[in-house]
Amino acid sequence: MTHSLIPTWRAGAGNGRLELDLGPAAVDLPEGTRLCLTSQLYPLSGDDIRGGTLAVADGSYLEFVLEPGATCVSVGDLFFSPRHVGEGPASAWLALPDGHVQVLACASMRRDPELAIPAAPVPVPEPFSGPRCTPWPNGMALSGLQARPAVDLSAAGAALDRLRWVLGEIGKTAGRLQEPGGLVLEPRADPSLPPEAYRLEIGTERIALAHGEKGLFPALVTLAQMLEGCTHGFGFPAAGSVIEDAPAYGWRGMHLDCARHFFTVSEIERLLAHMAWLKLNRFHWHLTDDEAWRAEIPSLPQLTGVGAQRGFGRPLTAQLGDGPEGHVGAYSTADMARIVATAANLGIAVMPEIDLPGHSTALLRAMPELVDGQEMPRSYASVQNFFNNSLNPAMPGALETVGAILDDLLAVFPGAEVHLGGDELPARAWATSPVALAAAGERPVLDLQKDFFRRLQARLAAEGRRIALWDEQGRVRSAEPEGALIFCWQDVEVAEKLAEGGYRLVLCPAQATYLDIAESPHWEAAGSGWAGHTSLADSYAFAPEAAVPAARRGQIEGVQACLWTEQVRSWPDLEALAFPRLAAVAETGWTKASQKDFARFIALQA
């Protein structure tokens, strides 16, 4: 008989209850049947469950042994009150006593009572008659507008080929770019200009282009955007117009989590094309987490051999919408080198992230010899419900293992920064580990992370690289400010304290730049709600220069959008959450605050 799962969250005392309804047919299921599911909403304990017993809790993966005759499992003591439908069960199946598995049709989580929220007003674009360009240039003197002119951009050479590739990847057309008799592009390098700066002068027969070392491609993108805009009713600058442009910030990033869900090389290249179109120049590639280890490390093949494969009955359990067959995927060294090369052709540097010492479940299950066998099992948990998930720096071989990982990664990634994570280390990590306690001595055991990161910082510095870390490590000063880059994700307030401590910063506050946060408070809105909701206007309004005192603003290297993929399982999911908010963050990174205009931005997205 076919079964299904209908989950309902009922508001009530505490964080309410999650009802898992299997329907009346479940009354005949054999004794010992287990209900298996993945859900970001989970119980803190098994003490308040009716209709079954919690047998396994591992991240988003939950197993309940059904009571005989039970047709519903009611779960209390929940970790949080959900704000959106996607935070509940995403997949489910029955594990029968005979070893067979029956996949369930998992309905979207209902809310009881339903939440009535008035629809937010949709921004209505005001008429705009200028050229179409996002991010908006920092200097534009228009003599007027004209219809789309014929152009000949052939003098751009290989850069024009890269532009055509970008247009093809993102599905846009700027028309013919090499038309006989058209405005002839005349590019010339100008060493007096900043690296990404350019100056366009529109004439009657030619377009004069002066550019810095890296400014040719951004200038071509500006021209292509304005030409493409002509097909949507926007104008092109008339003869005599001048665009003088350079970015507000040197770091304009996009982060993609490929650990929770795997994206193919071609999908990542498509994202890089979108980034180039928006003049973003840093790709932060999150390659490891509790849920998977995606980066091939030739000297440690077990990391992907075990850590890139999850599913029912595997060392890594199914997670975040997986069925019992699980989710498999890893990037070979050739794959990663291809991404680095594609990005470099577009003026984008790639920063890999290996998230340590927390978020290390995949690493530890692939290399159990790095676990202190005397540590009390399930003695601490992460906010994502993974137990004992942190690499113990005091374990023999721990630092050597990370060193071997870095050796292999540095051979593939030539960029100046390597991100080593450092976020969300549980407060009781290693508190019951005799090895860690002995190494810490009289100090708090969590101080081991400081020793760990400082040694890794020195190792990277010896290779001419800079350590990058999430803001928690700046707060506890796990890295020397000289040679460190801190990513401020929790809030903008922490940026001022870290700047005062001498750190250089990239600002990526969840409340403005996390693209996986839902855009509205509505129950049906895609995305998560732990940081509230972030509308397009919220993303655009983010003002990095206001985060620190004027005297410290030079320590802000830039801004970054982040996309975590707990609920992003496909390219369409990515598109739905990332755009157009990614364009808003891109404009904040490129366009000076004095030149930003939300009404214009909205009009240009139409």
Residue 32: closest CA among 76, 69, 72: 69
Please check whether residue 466 is in contact with residue 460, taking contact to mean a CB–CB distance below 8 angstroms: yes
Distance (Å, rounded) from C-alpha 478 to C-alpha 431? 19
> Choosing from 169, 179, 267, 424, which is the catalytic residue?
424
10 Å CB burial of residue 387 (0-12, 13-18, 19+) is middle
Q: How far is CA 60 from CA 63, 212, 377, 410, 606, in A?
A: 10, 49, 18, 32, 38
Taking the CB of residue 497, how many other CB atoms lie within 10 A of it? 14
DSSP-derived letter for residue 133 is: -
> If residue 362 lies in a helix (H) or strand (E), which one and from where to where?
helix 361-366
Residue 329: φ, ψ to 5°: 170, 135
Catalytic residue flag (residue 267):
no
Residue 592: closest CA among 126, 201, 218, 135: 135
Residue 366: φ, ψ to 5°: -80, -30
DSSP β-bridge partners for residue 327? 310
Please check whether residue 424 is in contact with residue 441, taking contact to mean a CB–CB distance below 8 angstroms: no
DSSP-derived letter for residue 581 is: H
Angle separating helix axes 581-590 and 571-578, nearest 10 degrees: 60
Residue 137: closest CA among 214, 215, 190: 215
CA 339 distance to own-chain centroid: 16
N- to C-terminal Cα separation, the chain? 50
Please check whether residue 255 is in contact with residue 148, taking contact to mean a CB–CB distance below 8 angstroms: no
Distance (Å, rounded) from C-alpha 91 to C-alpha 73? 15
Residue 508: closest CA among 527, 476, 531: 531
Q: How far is CA 576 from CA 322, 535, 570, in A?
A: 20, 13, 10
> If residue 409 lies in a helix (H) or strand (E), which one and from where to where?
helix 398-410
Distance (Å, rounded) from C-alpha 315 to C-alpha 418? 28
Distance (Å, rounded) from C-alpha 391 to C-alpha 429? 9
Angle separating helix axes 265-277 and 158-170, nearest 10 degrees: 110
Distance (Å, rounded) from C-alpha 446 to C-alpha 436? 9
As given in the structure block, the two tokens for residue 505 are 């910063």
Coil, strand or helix at 450: helix
DSSP for 15-44, please give it. Answer: T-EEEEE--GGGGGSPTT-EEEEEES--BS
Distance (Å, rounded) from C-alpha 217 to C-alpha 348? 11
Residues serving a catalytic function are 424
